[in-house]
C-alpha cells in the first residue's frame, strides 16, 4: 500500500464504512430470534450492587453484540483493538450504545484495561465484557484480562455462551467467527458466576483462569450440540498454533 493511500483508507474505515456497517448490522440483528437460558442470573446480577464482568469467546462476538445492546440488558464497556479494523468496529459498537476502550492484547491492552476499571469504579451501574482469548488468540485459550478486571473492580465474573446453526463461519479468521444469517435463531446460555477475589497467589489465579476456560468451552460444546452448529475446527486451537 502506498503512503498516499493510507490517509484515504483510514478516513474510509473511520468515517465512511462505520455508518454503513452499523445500518446493516442493526437490520440483520433485528431479524434474529434470541432464546436465552438462565437469563434470570444476568438480570439479578445487573440489579445487584457489584460490577459485572462478562466473559465470552471472541468467535461469538457478532452473536452477542446485538443481544447486549438491548436497553434491558444493561450498560456495557467493551475493549476494541487499535487496528484499522478496530477503528471500524469501535464506531459500530459506539453506535450500538456501548462505551469503548481502545486496545488489545497486542497493543494498548493495559491502557484500555485501566480505562475499563476506572469506568466501572466511577459508574457502578456500568458492566464490562472481554473475550477470554483476546484479540489474536490462540482460539479458546483464556488470558488473564477478564480476571484482572474482576479483581480490580470487586466484580463478579460471568461466562456467556452463544450458538446458532444458521450462520456463516469466517474460516480465514483465527477465531472462526460466526456471523448469523438473517432470521437465525440464536441461543444464549448464561453461566454460573465465578468469584475472583483480590490477593490470589499465582497458583490460585491460574486455577481461576483454567476454570473460566473450561467452563466456557463446556458451555459452548453443550450449546453447539443442541443448536446443531458444527465446524471443521475445534473450539480450542492448539497452543502451538501461530495466529495469522
- What CATH number should be reported for the domain holding residue 148? 3.40.1130
Q: Compute the distance between CA of residue 112 and CA of residue 90 in angstroms, rounded to an integer.
A: 13
Q: For the chain, give the mean pLDDT.
A: 92
Residue 232, in any domain of the structure = no
User: Distance of CA 4 to CAs 7, 9, 12, 163, 222, Å?
Assistant: 7, 10, 14, 42, 50
Secondary structure (3-state) at 97: coil
Could you tell me what percent of the chain has a pLDDT over 70?
A: 94
State yes or no: pLDDT of 223 exceeds 80: yes
241 within domain boundaries: no
If one compares 10 and 27, the residue with the highest pLDDT of the two is 27
Instruction: Spell out where the chain has E strands.
Output: 33-37, 52-56, 75-80, 99-102, 126-131, 156-163, 167-169, 178-180, 185-190
Per-residue pLDDT, averaged over 219-244, amounts to: 84
On whether residue 238 sits in a domain, the answer given is no
Range of the domain at 101: 6-227
| pLDDT of 42 over the 50 cut | yes
Domain assignment present for 233: no
Residues 6+ positions from 172 with CB-CB distance below 8 Å: 244
**Number of structural domains found in the chain:** 1
- Residue 9 or 76, more confident: 76
* Grid cell in block for residue 104: 488489545
| Strand order across the beta sheet in which 99-102 lies | 33-37, 185-190, 156-163, 52-56, 126-131, 75-80, 99-102
pLDDT of residue 56: 98
pLDDT for 81: 84
Note the pLDDT of residue 15.
Answer: 82
The verdict on residue 148 lying in a domain is: yes
Residue 239 lies in a domain: no
Q: Is the pLDDT of residue 163 over 90?
A: yes
| pLDDT of res. 198 | 94
Which residues contact residue 87 at a Cβ distance below 8 angstroms, ignoring those fewer than 6 apart? Answer: 10, 13, 14
Amino acid at each position: 500500500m502506498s503512503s498516499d493511500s493510507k490517509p484515504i483508507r483510514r478516513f474510509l474505515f473511520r468515517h465512511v464504512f462505520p455508518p454503513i456497517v452499523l445500518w446493516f448490522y442493526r437490520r440483520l440483528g433485528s431479524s434474529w430470534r434470541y432464546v436465552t437460558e438462565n437469563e434470570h442470573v444476568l438480570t439479578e446480577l445487573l440489579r445487584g450492587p457489584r460490577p459485572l464482568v462478562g466473559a465470552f469467546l471472541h468467535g461469538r462476538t457478532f452473536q452477542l453484540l446485538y443481544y447486549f445492546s438491548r436497553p434491558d440488558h444493561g450498560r456495557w464497556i467493551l475493549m476494541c483493538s487499535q487496528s484499522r479494523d478496530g477503528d471500524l468496529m469501535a464506531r459500530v459498537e459506539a453506535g450500538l450504545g456501548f462505551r469503548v476502550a481502545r486496545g488489545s492484547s497486542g497493543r494498548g491492552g493495559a491502557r484500555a484495561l485501566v480505562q475499563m476499571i476506572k469506568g466501572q469504579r466511577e459508574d457502578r451501574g456500568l458492566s464490562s465484557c472481554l473475550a477470554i482469548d483476546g484479540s489474536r488468540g490462540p482460539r479458546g485459550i483464556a488470558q488473564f484480562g477478564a480476571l484482572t478486571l474482576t479483581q480490580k473492580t470487586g466484580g463478579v465474573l460471568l461466562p456467556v455462551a452463544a450458538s446458532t446453526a444458521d450462520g456463516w463461519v469466517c474460516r480465514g479468521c483465527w477465531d472462526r467467527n460466526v456471523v448469523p444469517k438473517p432470521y437465525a435463531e440464536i441461543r444464549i446460555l448464561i453461566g454460573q458466576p465465578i468469584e475472583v477475589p483480590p490477593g490470589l497467589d499465582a497458583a490460585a489465579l491460574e486455577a481461576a483462569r483454567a476454570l473460566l476456560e473450561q467452563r466456557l468451552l463446556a458451555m459452548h460444546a453443550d450449546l453447539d450440540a443442541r443448536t446443531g452448529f458444527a465446524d471443521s475446527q475445534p473450539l480450542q486451537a492448539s497452543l502451538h498454533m501461530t495466529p495469522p
